[in-house]
Amino acid sequence: MKLSVSLFVFALLFSFLLATSAHTHENFLQCLILHSGNDSISKVIYTSSNSSYSFVLESSIRNPRFSTPSTPKPLVIVTPLGVSQIQEILSCAQKHGMQVRVRSGGHDYEGLSYVSPVPFVILDMINLRNISVDVENSFAWVQSGATLGELYYEIAEQSKTLGFPAGVCPTIGVGGHFSGGGYGTILRKYGLAADHVIDAHLIDVKGRFLDRKSMGEDLFWAIRGGGGASFGVIVAWKIKLVPVPSTVTVFTVNKNLEQNATKILHRWQHVADKFDKDLYIRVILTGANSSQEGKKTVQAAFNSLYLGGKDKLLPLMQESFPELGLVSEDCKEMSWIQSILYFAGFPSGQSLDVLLNRTLTVISYKAKSDYVKNPIPESGLEGIWQRFYEKEAESAVLILTPYGGKMSEISGSAIPFPHRAGNIYKIQYLVYWSEEGTAATESHVSWIRRLYTYMAPYVSKSPREAYINYRDLDIGTNNEGNTSYRHASIWGTKYFKNNFKRLVHVKTVFDPTNFFRNEQSIPPLSW
* Residues tagged active-site: 470
- Dihedral sign, Cα of residue 9, residue 12, residue 16, residue 22: positive
- Count other C-beta atoms under 10 Å from residue 39's C-beta: 9
> 178: helix, coil or strand?
helix
Render 299-364 in DSSP notation, one character per residue. EEEEEEEESS-HHHHHHHHHHH-GGG---GGG-EEE-HHHHHHHHTTPPTT--GGGGG-------E
Please say whether the beta carbons of 86 and 66 come within 8 A: no
Quick one: which of 277, 283, 306 has its CA closest to 372? Answer: 283
Please say whether the beta carbons of 404 and 275 come within 8 A: yes
- State the distance between the two ends of the chain, measured CA to CA, in whole angstroms: 42
Helices and strands (H and E) in the chain: how many: 16, 18
Please say whether the beta carbons of 31 and 98 come within 8 A: no
Distances (CA, A) of 125 to 158, 359, 453, 514: 25, 16, 37, 21
Residues 6+ apart with CB under 8 A from 345: none
The DSSP symbol for 281 reads E
Please report how the helices 485-496 and 500-510 are oriented relative to each other, as an axis angle in degrees rounded to 10: 130
d(CA 407, CA 186): 10
d(CA 277, CA 270): 15
CB burial string 468-490: b at 16+ within 10 A, e below = bbbbbeebbebeeeebebebbbe
d(CA 261, CA 255): 5
Quick one: which of 247, 230, 214, 311 has its CA closest to 507? Answer: 230
Which 3-state string (H, E, C) describes 22-84?
HHHHHHHHHHHHHHHCCCHHHHHEECCCCCCHHHHHHCCCCCHHHCCCCCCCCCEEECCCCHH
